[in-house]
């Protein structure tokens, strides 16, 4: 006796057809394999050159310091703030490594620090590092 108009010969299919699922997954895999290399973006960095040589005594680290009263120092020598660009230009005229570190007191106005940074960059310095203290946790 057939109930609900169903034919007893067909019955209910209890298996899942995975063929369409596998087809879709393979297509997605191919799409991601093709697009993944195009999506990689890197950060531009200035990598150091491999040409190395021994450091001469004249090529030691130069630190420009601006204290809380606004005085400017190159290493430990105080100079007038207006002479910073000229002094650095003459110091680095013959150096291969043009790198300066800037230390500024926390109480120094922002404008004076920016002015010192502009003078350092204007002197032809290629790399400027900011010296800070680690944060207290």
Residue 25: what pLDDT? 94
| 80 vs 95 pLDDT, higher one | 80
How does residue 47 score in pLDDT terms, banded at 50, 70 and 90? very low
Percent of the chain with pLDDT over 90: 17
- Write the pLDDT tens digit of every residue in 99-127: 988 888 878 888 888 999 999 999 988 88
Residue 116 tokens, joined: 């010192």
Residue 135: what pLDDT? 60
The C-alpha torsion from 25 through 30 and 34 to 37, rounded to 10°, is: 60
Architecture field, domain 62-130 = 2-Layer Sandwich (3.30)
Is residue 117 within 8 A of residue 84, CB to CB? The reply is no
Per the DSSP assignment, residues forming a β-bridge with 89 are none
CA distance 12 to 82: 92
Domain ranges, ordered by start, for the chain: 62-130
Residue burial 39-49, b: 16+ Cβ < 10 Å; e: rest? eeeeeeeeeee
Task: Beginning with the edge strand found earlier in the chain, give each strand of the sheet holding 99-104 in spatial order.
Answer: 77-79, 72-74, 62-66, 99-104, 127-130
Residue 86: what pLDDT? 92
How does residue 3 score in pLDDT terms, banded at 50, 70 and 90? low
pTM over 0.75: no
């Amino acid at each position: 006796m057939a109930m609900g108009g169903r034919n007893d010969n067909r019955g209910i299919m209890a298996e899942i057809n995975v063929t369409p699922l596998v087809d879709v997954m393979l297509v997605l895999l191919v799409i991601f394999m093709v697009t993944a290399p195009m999506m990689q973006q890197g950060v531009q960095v200035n990598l150091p050159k491999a040409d190395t040589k021994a450091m001469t005594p004249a090529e030691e680290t130069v630190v420009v310091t601006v204290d809380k009263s606004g005085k400017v120092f190159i290493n430990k020598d105080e100079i007038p703030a207006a002479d910073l660009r000229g002094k650095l230009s003459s110091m680095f005229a013959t150096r291969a490594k043009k790198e300066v570190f800037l230390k500024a007191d926390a109480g120094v106005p922002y404008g004076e620090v920016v002015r010192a940074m502009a003078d350092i960059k204007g002197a032809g310095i290629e790399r400027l590092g900011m010296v800070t203290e680690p944060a207290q946790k």
